[in-house]
Amino acid sequence: MAPYEPAQDTSETGELRAGRRKAARYAVPVAVAGVAAATIGLVPALATSGDPDLPGITAQELIEKMAASDTQQLSGNVKISTDLGLPSLGGMAGGFTGGGGGGGAEHGEGGKGGEGSAADPKGKLMELASGTHTLRVAADGPDRQKVSVLGDAAEYSLIHNGDEVWAYDSASNEAYHAEAGKGAGHEDGKKGADDIPATPRDFAERALKAVDDTTSVTVDGTAQVAGRDAYRLVVEPKQSGSTVGRITVAVDAKTGTSLKFTLTPASGGAAVVDVGFTAVDFGKPSASTFDFTPPKGAKVTEADEHGESRDFKDKYRGRDGEEFTEEDLSGLNVIGEGWSSIAELKLPGGRGLPTAGSGDVPQDAQKFLDSLGDRVDGKFGSGTVFSTRLINALVTDDGKVYVGAVTKDALVKAANR
């Protein structure tokens, strides 16, 4: 291995700080909350082998290389493993998501039964939030991407081609269709597609933006990922109280493309998120890769059949039947900064969680919530902390929520303030 310049903290100079502000917030815990959309969009990571002999490079130079990467075309296989420490949802998963690859008889009525389509991306992509999955991905610029989730006897594909988005679930023979930018909470169709990263370059830019003075960034040797020589960029919080231990990104030495993403918790053990290419080709995919026509007999659901573009304009119903809108969810306050920041907000109606005893939630759902929560007390009163290996949330009995990639003690301290 070629010698490396000493590990360098990117807070040392103003010039380096300017470079750091260019990179992707997918690297921070927020990415995990949206792992469905974020990781499926092509951030990669996986097993490394060997230590290729590459020229020395500083953290600043590697960040600049990532920011300058112009990779627009690629195809390959990705393996994603996610371990948030959640108990198994078992058969409850389908009930929570409204989809889940069930047979057409169960889900085939689309919106008529209120359960939606089995091909709806919001339901299917939730499955990526736990376990290990194999994906086949392809991208040709910002207007054409395809991701297929491969199962033992079925395949689920999400295709963006120009102005259209198609999803198809072979297990139920159901298809889901939307205009690009619609069907995902964006009424005007001009957002949505731009909000979700579609290429490795998108993720790299967001990662650089996440880095600030609360962060240490260093180069830690080299690796080989999917047959490609890469540098290892390590991102670590300087602050105490964060549940994030470190983030390691393998950066392709030739193209500057992110090839490996691993997020390890401060508590140690297995990675919370480990995503990466097992094979990658930077050539232009065939145009036919992004073509889709629903198979004969497939049930097709249009996005707006389910009011997908409502943008919170519809009213929602609270625990006692009262209606509330987006305005009732206002009042977001951020406590602290950087990796230890905590979001504080109020639940509609100023009350805590509904319970099975009050008839507000099914018994099975209550058991699931109870398995996640720990009762806590403090100057703020009482509440329940729901914990994962990365994101924790405190819900107080008087209807306040404190959430962040921080420890339980940090949440209680914030509530006491």
Tokens for 133, please give them: 């999955």
Mean pLDDT, 10 residues at a time, the chain of 417 residues = 42 42 34 34 39 93 89 91 69 37 38 63 78 92 92 92 95 92 45 42 59 89 95 92 92 94 91 91 96 95 62 44 50 87 85 60 70 87 91 92 94 94
pLDDT the model gives residue 404: 94
Q: CA 36, CA 126: separation in Å to the nearest integer?
A: 6
pLDDT the model gives residue 335: 92
DSSP letter for 63, please: H
How would you list the strands of the sheet with 164-169, edge to edge?
Answer: 215-225, 228-237, 244-252, 258-265, 273-281, 73-82, 131-140, 144-150, 155-161, 164-169, 174-179, 299-302
pLDDT the model gives residue 18: 42
Structural contact between residues 136 and 286, judged by C-beta atoms closer than 8 angstroms: no
Helical (H) or strand (E) element with 125: helix 121-125
Whole-structure pTM value: 0.72
pLDDT the model gives residue 305: 56
pLDDT the model gives residue 85: 81
